[in-house]
């Protein structure tokens, strides 16, 4: 009998987090377009333009190419949305625990490792849909998307593992748990050398974000001027709307992951507020941090950079960013070797 209320709460939480991811994903996409337009001295679209686009796409039929593999072609958009939303189940929102958090609050398993794997699901769904469409443009875009995934996964993994290792070296239990990461900021356990390493890892993750989201300068899989839209060229109507939704939800997920790893503070930690007021303040503060992360890791980068060629993208991520991530990891490891858990130099 006790399991039934838990299931009801989980279903209610899953619905709420899905609505939250979709609504704020589209809202942040609209804000991103407005910010980019203002930085380029343009008027730009209204903030609610993504909602308008989604509504128009949902009213149209989905055209299936003659040579497409129909089952995979239709399934890919649903998998992309489901994969993107499932990431949010493991990420805290303000002062609220993740929907998928255990009853004890702290998971013994590698939550952030699971998140890292789930981040690839929407991209792989787009790859499958591109190949299944039967279009040569989409096939080239799908190949580029696979190369992009292989390029940015290594720096992302190094950043996550470095932070978890440093928490473990400081004696923190379950360092891969999102509840642990949200309650023990990495800045509180590192010394001066570790701070330098964490800053480097923060910069690396900021550059991984546009590649993870296929945004400029890492939008080579789409490249409208080269591939006419790339791996989504044959998608239209409701299927295209679902892919569009997955991109918005994934934007929220990537910004939330950055906040979790590097900016986990809540406003209620510093202000004498409790109860509902504390939860509301923490939620507003959390959304502000998401906007800040989006501005620096998405809007600012795509306005100041041109699109990378696919070979340049691999060189940058497997070369420069991988090297920077390893340097950050080395700084964090050295800091752990010369610093006791209390943070005082030996």
pLDDT tens digits in sequence order for the chain, 346 residues long: 445 577 777 788 888 999 999 999 999 999 999 998 999 888 888 999 999 999 999 888 888 888 888 889 889 999 999 999 999 998 988 878 888 766 555 666 668 888 988 999 999 999 998 888 888 888 888 888 888 888 889 999 999 999 999 998 888 888 888 888 888 899 988 888 999 999 999 999 999 999 888 888 888 777 666 556 667 888 888 999 999 999 999 999 999 999 999 999 888 888 888 878 888 888 999 999 999 999 999 999 888 887 888 888 889 998 899 999 999 999 999 988 887 544 444 4
Please indicate, yes or no, if residue 172 is contained in any of the structural domains.
yes
Q: Is the entire prediction scored with pTM above 0.75?
A: yes
**Domain assignment of residue 155, yes or no:** yes
Residue 344 lies in a domain: no
Q: Is residue 217 part of a domain?
A: yes
What is the model's pLDDT at position 207? 92
Which residue from 244, 246, 254 is spatially nearest to 212, judged by alpha carbons? 254
* Cβ pair 88, 16 in contact under 8 A: no
Residue 259 forms part of a structural domain: yes
- Using only C-alpha atoms, the chain has a radius of gyration, in whole angstroms, of 21
> Quick check: is 121 in a domain?
yes
The closest alpha carbon to 214, from 128, 117, 115, 313, belongs to: 313
Residue 234: predicted pLDDT: 84
- Give, in order, the Cα–Cα distances in Å from 217 to each of 96, 213, 222, 305: 34, 10, 11, 6
How far is it, in rounded angstroms, from Cα 185 to Cα 183?
6
How many distinct structural domains can be found in the chain? 1
Going by the DSSP 8-state scheme, the letter that residue 218 receives in this structure is S
Q: Is residue 246 part of a domain?
A: yes
Q: What is the pLDDT of residue 104?
A: 53
Find the domain containing 35 and state its range: 3-338
Residue with tokens 């790893």: 261
pLDDT at site 182: 86
Dihedrals phi, psi of 131, to nearest 5 degrees: -65, -40
- The answer to whether the beta carbons of residues 205 and 261 sit under 8 Å apart is yes
Q: Is residue 346 part of a domain?
A: no
> Within a 10 A sphere around the Cβ of 311, how many other Cβ atoms?
10
Strand partners, 339: 345
d(CA 17, CA 20): 5
- Over the range 74-109, which residues count as b (16 or more CB within 10 Å of their CB) and which as e? bbbbebbbbbbbbbbbbbbbbbeebbbbeeeeebee
């Amino acid at each position: 009998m006790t399991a039934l209320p838990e299931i009801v709460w989980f279903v209610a939480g899953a619905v709420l987090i899905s609505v939250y991811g979709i609504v704020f994903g589209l809202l942040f996409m609209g804000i991103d377009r407005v910010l980019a337009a203002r930085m380029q001295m343009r008027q730009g679209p209204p903030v609610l333009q993504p909602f308008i686009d989604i509504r128009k796409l949902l009213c149209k039929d989905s055209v299936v190419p003659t040579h497409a593999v129909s089952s995979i072609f239709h399934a890919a958009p649903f998998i992309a949305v489901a994969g993107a939303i499932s990431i949010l189940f493991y990420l805290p929102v303000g002062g609220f625990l993740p929907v998928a958090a255990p009853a004890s609050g702290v998971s013994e398993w590698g939550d952030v490792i699971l998140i890292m794997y789930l981040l690839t699901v929407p991209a792989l769904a787009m790859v499958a849909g591109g190949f299944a469409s039967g279009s040569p443009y989409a096939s080239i875009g799908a190949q580029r998307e696979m190369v992009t995934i292989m390029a940015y996964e290594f720096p992302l993994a190094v950043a996550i593992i470095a932070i978890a290792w440093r928490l473990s070296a400081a004696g923190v239990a379950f360092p891969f748990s999102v509840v642990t990461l949200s309650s023990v900021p990495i800045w509180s356990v590192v010394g001066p050398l570790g701070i330098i390493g964490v800053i480097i890892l923060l910069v690396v993750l900021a550059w991984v974000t546009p590649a993870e989201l296929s945004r400029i300068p890492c939008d080579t899989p789409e490249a409208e001027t080269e591939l006419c839209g790339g791996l989504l060229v044959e998608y239209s109507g409701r299927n295209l709307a679902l892919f569009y939704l997955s991109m918005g939800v994934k934007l929220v997920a990537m910004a939330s992951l950055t906040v979790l790893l590097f900016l986990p503070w809540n406003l209620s930690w510093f202000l004498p507020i409790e109860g509902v007021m504390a939860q509301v303040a923490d939620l507003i503060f959390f959304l502000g941090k998401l906007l800040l992360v989006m501005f620096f890791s998405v809007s600012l980068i795509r306005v100041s950079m041109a699109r990378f060629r696919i070979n340049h993208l691999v060189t940058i991520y497997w070369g420069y960013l991988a090297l920077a991530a390893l340097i950050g990891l080395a700084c964090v490891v050295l800091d752990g070797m010369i610093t006791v858990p209390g943070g005082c130099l030996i």
